[in-house]
Copies of this chain bind each other. A is one copy, B any other.
Amino acid sequence: MSRGRLDEIDRRILASLQENGRMTNVEVAERAGITAPPCLRRVRALEESGIIRGYHADVDPAALGYTITVFALVSLKSQAEDDLQAFEQHIAKLPEVRECFMLNGEIDFVLRVVAQDLQSFQRFLTSNLTPAPNVASVKTSLVIRKSKNDPGVPIPA
């Protein structure tokens, strides 16, 4: 059920759902220029092929008491694949870490971390992140504000 490449209609569907993940299928179909049934089939195919990975409400962290967002730049002692995976498995268990990217260069990982306040962030840092397996250094920067928020990727019209 995997199509090789996406056509213009698929791209319009993706653009619509990336912009508004709760748009009704009828409206997605209208924007894509087809009727609802084939549109729904395409959406399902995009979901099943993994091109659409999921749908998520963007919730204001402050509303749930998360006043602190931090980026943590982590360097490891060893970049052997086993050691990288050991670190990944460790952070997978930490709920404060919401996203983690493996990078090339001096910094091995960048983590987006949330916490209710500075004190609980410090506790997380000293108890869970700095002592993680294989960690050489951790540099943290507090987020002052989110300057731009365009989730996803550009989709050409």
Q: Give me the interface of A with B, judged by CB distance under 8 Å.
A: 6, 11, 14, 17-22, 50-61, 63-64, 66, 69, 71, 88, 91-92, 95-105, 107, 109-111, 114, 141-155
A56 touches B152 (CB 8 A): yes
A153 touches B59 (CB 8 A): yes
A18 touches B147 (CB 8 A): no
Residues in B neighbouring A61, C-beta threshold 8 A: 152-153
Residue of A63, A64, A149, A153 with highest tally of chain B CB at under 10 A: A153
Chain B nearest CB: distance from A135 CB in Å?
14
A103 to B144 alpha-carbon distance, docked (Å) = 5
Chain B nearest CB: distance from A88 CB in Å?
5
Residues in B neighbouring A148, C-beta threshold 8 A: 88, 91-92, 97-100, 111
Residues in B neighbouring A102, C-beta threshold 8 A: 143-147
Chain B nearest CB: distance from A108 CB in Å?
9
| Nearest-CB residue, chain B, relative to A66 | B153
A53 to B77 alpha-carbon distance, docked (Å) = 39
Known A141-B105, A147-B100; judge A58-B56 contact (CB<8 A): yes
B55 touches A56 (CB 8 A): yes
User: Would you give 13 A-B contacts (Cβ < 8 Å), ordered by A?
Assistant: A19-B56, A22-B22, A52-B58, A52-B60, A53-B60, A58-B151, A58-B152, A91-B148, A92-B147, A98-B151, A102-B143, A102-B147, A114-B154
